[in-house]
Amino acid sequence: MEQQLNDIREQQKETWNKFSPGWKKWDDFTMKFLKPMGDAIISELNIKESDVVLDAASGTGEPGLTIAAMVKSGKVTGIDVADKMLVLAKENAASKQLNNFETKTCDICELPFADNSYDKISCRMGFMFFPDMQLAANEMFRVLKPGGKMATSVWSTPDKNIWITGIMGVINKNMQLPPPPPGAPGMFRCGAPGFIRSIMEKSGFKNIKELPIIGKVVYENFDHMWQMMNDVAAPVVGAFGKADDDMKVKIKNESEQFCKQFQTSNGLELDYGALVISGEKP
C-alpha cells in the first residue's frame, strides 16, 4: 500500500511539474475560470485579518494569494507536491507584493507541521489527485486549530463538465482507451454528492456543508480552447499523445464539430460543475 501511495505521489508530481509551463502561460485565464470556486471557499472560511492559513494543492497560488491579501496580520502557506508549480506561486506573490505568502513542497498525506497550527485551510481542486484522500483529510484535521475551518472544492460529475468531457468523449470514442483503475486519481474521483462529506466526517470534521456551483467557461473560439487544453489538461494530452497523426487530425476535427453547438455571440461557452465542501474542527 505504501509503495502504491508513493507511486501515485511521484506520478502526480511528475505530471504537474511537466505541465507547469502551460499553467504559467494560461494562468490569467485559468484563474478567472476557477475564481468562483475560490471565492466560495473564501466565503465559507470566514477569513479574519489575523488568520494563519494553509492553502493545500496551491498550484500557482490561488486562492491562497487572494487570502494572503486579506490576512494583513496573518500569513498563508501554500503547499503542493509539485515544486515547479510553487515556483509560479512565488512569482505571483512577488508580482502582487505579498510578503505574507510562503510556499513549501510537501505531501498532503504527511504534513510537516505541528498539530493545531492553522486557523483555516483552503484546498481548491486538490482532493481528486491526492494519493490517499482519507489520510489527506486526517492530516488537515490534525494541523487545524480547534474551532478552525477547512473548505475545499472538487469537480462534480462528468455530465456537468462538458468543458472537459466533450473532448475526452471524442478521444475515447476513437481510441477505446482502457478505463482508469477504480479509485485512481482523476478529475471526477470526488464528484459524487456526499463523497467528500463522508471522508471529512471520518476525520472528525463537524458542521459540514456542501454547495453546488455551476457556470460556463468562455473561450474565444474552438482554437482558443484546443490550445489551452493541449497546454494544461493532462488527461487530454496523455490520451492524445497515444494517437498517430491521422488520428490526431480526426479527433481535432470531430471535437470542433462537437463544440459548434456551444458557440455563441460571446464565444465558445462550455458548462462546468463543482462542489464546495466545508467543515469545522470541534
For residues 144 and 118, is the Cβ–Cβ distance under 8 A?
A: yes
C-alpha cell at position 69: 491579501
For residues 29 and 227, is the Cβ–Cβ distance under 8 A?
A: no
Please give the class, per CATH, of domain 2-280. alpha beta
C-alpha cell at position 251: 479527433
Per-residue confidence (pLDDT) for residue 58, from 0 to 100: 98
| pLDDT exceeds 90 at position 277 | yes
pLDDT, tens digit, 9 for 90 and up, residues 10-20: 988 998 999 99
Counting Cα atoms < 13 Å in the Cβ hemisphere of 215 gives 12
Strands (E), the chain: 52-56, 75-80, 101-105, 118-124, 144-155, 206-219, 263-264, 267-280
For residues 120 and 56, is the Cβ–Cβ distance under 8 A?
A: no
User: Alpha-carbon distance 93 to 55, whole Å?
Assistant: 13
- Region 3-11 average pLDDT: 84
Per-residue confidence (pLDDT) for residue 179, from 0 to 100: 81
User: Alpha-carbon distance 86 to 58, whole Å?
Assistant: 7
- Region 88-110 average pLDDT: 98
Greater model confidence, 182 or 168: 168
Using a pLDDT cut of 90, give the percent of the chain over it. Answer: 88
- Region 76-83 average pLDDT: 98
Counting Cα atoms < 13 Å in the Cβ hemisphere of 86 gives 18
User: Alpha-carbon distance 106 to 24, whole Å?
Assistant: 21
pLDDT, tens digit, 9 for 90 and up, residues 188-207: 999 999 999 999 999 999 99
User: Alpha-carbon distance 185 to 202, whole Å?
Assistant: 20
Q: How confident is the model at residue 1 (pLDDT cuts 50, 70, 90)?
A: low
pLDDT, tens digit, 9 for 90 and up, residues 226-244: 999 999 998 888 888 889 9
Q: Is the pTM of this model over 0.75?
A: yes
pLDDT, tens digit, 9 for 90 and up, residues 119-178: 999 999 999 999 999 999 999 999 999 999 999 999 999 999 999 999 999 999 999 888
User: Alpha-carbon distance 273 to 275, whole Å?
Assistant: 7
User: Alpha-carbon distance 22 to 190, whole Å?
Assistant: 25
Domain ranges of the chain: 2-280
